[in-house]
């Protein structure tokens, strides 16, 4: 009798363990933890960087307030014969249309949208997101005459709904993997050291059009990257348009 009781106890324990294991595996599948562990994720992600063997970097600037430093940035890009990206908020485009047109006509800048009103877009409804994107694209296009295909969410804040809406409108959602922290008013040297330390092949560098020391840091950053053997592309030139996946870090990978 005792043998039967022990055997039954073991069977019950085995059954409980099996049930718990099944539940655990189910939860992993639902949350995407298994995908993350394997280097992929089921969660939607923007493009933070691009996997490439080429030593290439994309410099990008967000423009929401002020334009007094824009000329300095543009002159630096021209002096070093490189191109970069601007992500522009609608009210900046409407306030500085001549400057936006100058950026476009310079041939040095690829322009994308940074939203219409600079909100936390993960908090918006689908219809509000669609209005933010469509309005901003129309405003910028009316000034530049060019199609817009790149979008950067304000504050880097996004949701699956936002990414779905952007994709449906033909927009690639772009983040960054190197933050210059120019918005913290770091010195030009500190900004450059931060960028040069963290950049890698296919990196996208974040800066701001109105950063206190961005104009002073830009030549140091460019020369430092050139000395490391890097060349420069716009984000539109860097990203893959088809046959790609995005890993759990946001790096776009060619299949």
Indicate which residue of 114, 177, 208, 247 is catalytic: 208
Catalytic, 157? Answer no
- What CA–CA distance (Å, rounded) separates 145 from 138? 10
Helix (H, G, I), strand (E, B) or coil at 164: helix
Pairing between β-strand 244-246 and β-strand 251-254 as defined by DSSP bridges: antiparallel
In the block, tokens 């699956």 appear at 160
110, 85 contact by CB (below 8 A): yes
Contacts of 169 (CB under 8 A, 6+ apart): 130, 133, 134, 137
Q: C-alpha dihedral over 135, 136, 137, 140, to 10 degrees?
A: 120
Contacts of 160 (CB under 8 A, 6+ apart): 43, 44
Q: How far is CA 215 from the centre of its chain?
A: 22
> CB neighbours (10 Å) of residue 192?
23
Indicate which residue of 62, 177, 210, 247 is catalytic: 62
Catalytic, 208? Answer yes
Active site residue ranges: 62, 208
């Amino acid at each position: 009798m005792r043998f039967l009781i022990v055997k039954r106890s073991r069977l019950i324990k085995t059954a409980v363990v099996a049930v718990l294991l099944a539940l655990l595996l189910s939860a992993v599948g639902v949350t995407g933890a298994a995908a993350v562990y394997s280097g992929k994720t089921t969660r939607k992600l923007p493009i933070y960087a691009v996997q490439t063997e080429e030593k290439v970097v994309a410099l990008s600037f967000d423009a929401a307030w002020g334009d007094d430093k824009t000329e300095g940035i543009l002159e630096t890009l021209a002096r070093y014969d490189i191109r970069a990206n601007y992500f522009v908020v609608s009210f900046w485009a409407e306030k500085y249309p001549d400057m936006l047109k100058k950026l476009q006509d310079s041939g040095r800048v690829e322009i994308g949208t940074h939203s219409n009103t600079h909100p936390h877009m993960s908090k918006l409804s689908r219809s509000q997101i669609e209005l933010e994107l469509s309005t901003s694209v129309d405003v910028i296009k009316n000034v530049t005459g060019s199609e817009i295909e790149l979008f950067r969410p304000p504050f880097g804040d996004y949701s699956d709904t936002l990414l779905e809406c952007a994709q449906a409108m033909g927009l690639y959602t772009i983040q960054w993997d190197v933050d210059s922290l120019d918005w913290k008013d770091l010195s030009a040297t500190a900004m450059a050291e931060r960028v040069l330390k963290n950049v890698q092949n296919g990196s996208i560098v974040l800066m701001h059009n109105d950063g206190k020391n961005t104009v002073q840091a830009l030549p140091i950053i460019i020369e430092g990257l050139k000395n490391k053997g890097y060349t420069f592309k716009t984000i539109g030139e860097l990203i893959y348009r088809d046959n790609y996946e995005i890993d759990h870090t946001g790096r776009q990978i060619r299949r």
